[in-house]
């Protein structure tokens, strides 16, 4: 009963607060119909195509409330509370508990407070997205899609990267923009666990160019909702660049994930990642195309593609069209090709490969 009432009560409070200065109720609803084969970790030979109605094709469905207060002399305070939703079932969060991974709590997308100054930057505390995930979302043609964006799929969704897309107990600093240049860093407190997560980024933007670099180290064990699907310690980096030709905007990434295992079972496995994507304005929408590649030279064990470290190579191709029927509502269609090499068979040049062509059409509305 309390769980059912909490969003209703919060909506009422937010409605009342919105009459005051600086408080906003916001959200986005995204639903798509798809024919998909495999899982977020990839496809293997035993998978069959499944027709689905899913939430969050181009953007994960969410809602929340945020606010700011002007403290004077360029200083302000703010907060943000945001929750994921599965519109196809009406459930909160992105998923239920599976194995050692707990289900998303209600405010799993963000629960933070901040103090900022126009000249000195911003300090945030709480649960929010990592710098690397934020960078990846902003620097590819499919933007925040975790279903169809190749770079997001091979880096964050069903990949060897640990730490997930957001960290709890996080303290972060974001600098102001100094003539197109900005920096930032964050630390996620260990709070009795085996280590802490840390991250840093830098970005430079000038005219049509934008270049950014993000790095992170994950040492928080055991697994929780915000810490990915493996207890392994990992280090990773991602270099992103884009150029806007007006008639065409191109994006590129290069990066790596270093899997160090755990303190009691160390390993040394490196995954290299790169991608290219482009967005072409066409009428009231955009034509989108992207390709991403993740590969390791390590002799991974003969396990299913969905298991951690089970893919020697994964290639994802996506082509789509996103059509805006208004400023806040768009329709989209995407075809995605997923090729996976799950492991190498005994003998030279032999491997077990699987591939699938996935298709989805959906509607997205923001408020």
**244-279 pLDDT tens trace:** 999 999 999 999 999 998 888 888 889 999 999 999
| Predicted local confidence at residue 159, as pLDDT | 83
What integer pLDDT is reported at residue 72 of this predicted model?
A: 95
Asked whether residue 281 is domain-assigned, the answer is yes
Return the pLDDT at 100.
Answer: 64
pTM for the structure as a whole? 0.88
pLDDT in tens, 168-207: 999 999 999 999 999 999 999 888 777 899 999 999 999 9
Residue 54 in domain: yes
| Percent of all residues in the chain with a pLDDT value above 70, rounded to a whole number | 85
Q: Which domain holds residue 76?
A: 27-366
Q: How much is the average pLDDT of 202-213?
A: 97
Of 344, 303, 247, 289, the C-alpha closest to 150 is 289
306 CB contacts (<8 Å, ≥6 apart)? 39, 40, 41, 42, 44, 158
Assess if residue 338 is contained within a domain: yes
End-to-end, the C-alpha distance of the chain in Å comes to 27
Residue 123 maps to a domain:
yes
Give per-residue pLDDT as tens, 270-296: 999 999 999 999 999 999 999 999 998
Residue 150 is assigned to a structural domain of this protein: yes
In the structure, what pLDDT confidence band is assigned to residue 16 with cuts at 50, 70 and 90? very low
pLDDT value for 303: 42
Q: Give the total number of structural domains in the chain.
A: 1
Q: What is the pLDDT of residue 301?
A: 52
Mean per-residue pLDDT of the chain: 88
* Residue 5 counted as domain residue: no
The top-scoring range by mean pLDDT among 40-44, 119-123, 297-301 is 119-123
Mean pLDDT of 346-356: 73
Give the pLDDT of residue 341.
84
pLDDT bucket at 345, cuts 50 / 70 / 90:
low
- 21 inside domain: no
65 within a domain of the structure (yes/no): yes
Measured distance CA(222)–CA(226) in Å, rounded: 11
Mean pLDDT of 22-51: 91
Question: Which CATH number fits the domain that encloses residue 263?
Answer: 2.40.160.10
């Amino acid at each position: 009963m309390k769980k059912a009432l909490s969003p209703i009560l919060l909506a009422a409070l937010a409605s009342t607060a919105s009459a005051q200065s600086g408080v906003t109720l916001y959200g986005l609803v995204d639903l798509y119909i798809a024919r998909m084969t495999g899982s977020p970790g990839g496809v293997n030979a035993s998978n069959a195509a499944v027709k689905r109605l899913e939430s969050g094709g181009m953007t994960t469905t969410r809602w929340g409330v945020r606010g700011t207060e002007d403290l004077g002399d360029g200083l302000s305070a703010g907060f943000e509370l945001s929750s994921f939703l599965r519109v196809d079932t009406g459930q909160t969060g992105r998923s239920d508990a599976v194995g050692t991974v707990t289900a998303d709590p209600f405010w799993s997308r963000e629960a933070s407070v901040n103090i900022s100054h126009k000249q000195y930057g911003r300090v945030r505390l709480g649960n929010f997205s990592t710098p690397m995930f934020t960078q990846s979302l902003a620097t590819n043609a499919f933007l925040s899609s975790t279903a169809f964006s190749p770079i997001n799929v091979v880096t964050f969704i069903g990949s060897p990267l640990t730490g997930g897309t957001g960290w709890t107990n996080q303290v972060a600093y974001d600098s102001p923009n100094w003539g197109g240049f900005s920096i930032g860093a964050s630390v996620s407190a260990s709070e009795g666990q085996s280590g802490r997560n840390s991250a840093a980024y830098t970005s430079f933007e000038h005219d049509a160019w934008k270049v950014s670099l993000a790095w992170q180290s994950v040492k928080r064990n055991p697994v929780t909702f915000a810490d990915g699907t493996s207890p392994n310690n990992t280090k990773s980096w991602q270099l992103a660049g884009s150029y806007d030709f007006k008639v065409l905007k191109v994006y590129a990434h290069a990066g790596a994930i270093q899997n160090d295992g755990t303190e009691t079972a160390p390993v040394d496995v490196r995954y290299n990642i790169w991608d290219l994507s482009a967005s072409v304005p066409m009428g009231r929408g955009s034509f989108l195309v992207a390709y991403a590649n993740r590969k390791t030279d390590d002799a991974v064990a003969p396990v299913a593609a969905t298991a951690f470290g089970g893919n020697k190579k994964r290639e994802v191709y996506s082509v789509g069209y996103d059509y805006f029927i208004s400023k806040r509502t768009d329709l989209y269609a995407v075809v995605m090709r997923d090729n996976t090499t799950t492991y190498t068979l005994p003998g030279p040049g032999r491997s077990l490969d699987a591939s699938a062509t996935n298709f989805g059409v959906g509607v997205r509305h923001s408020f």
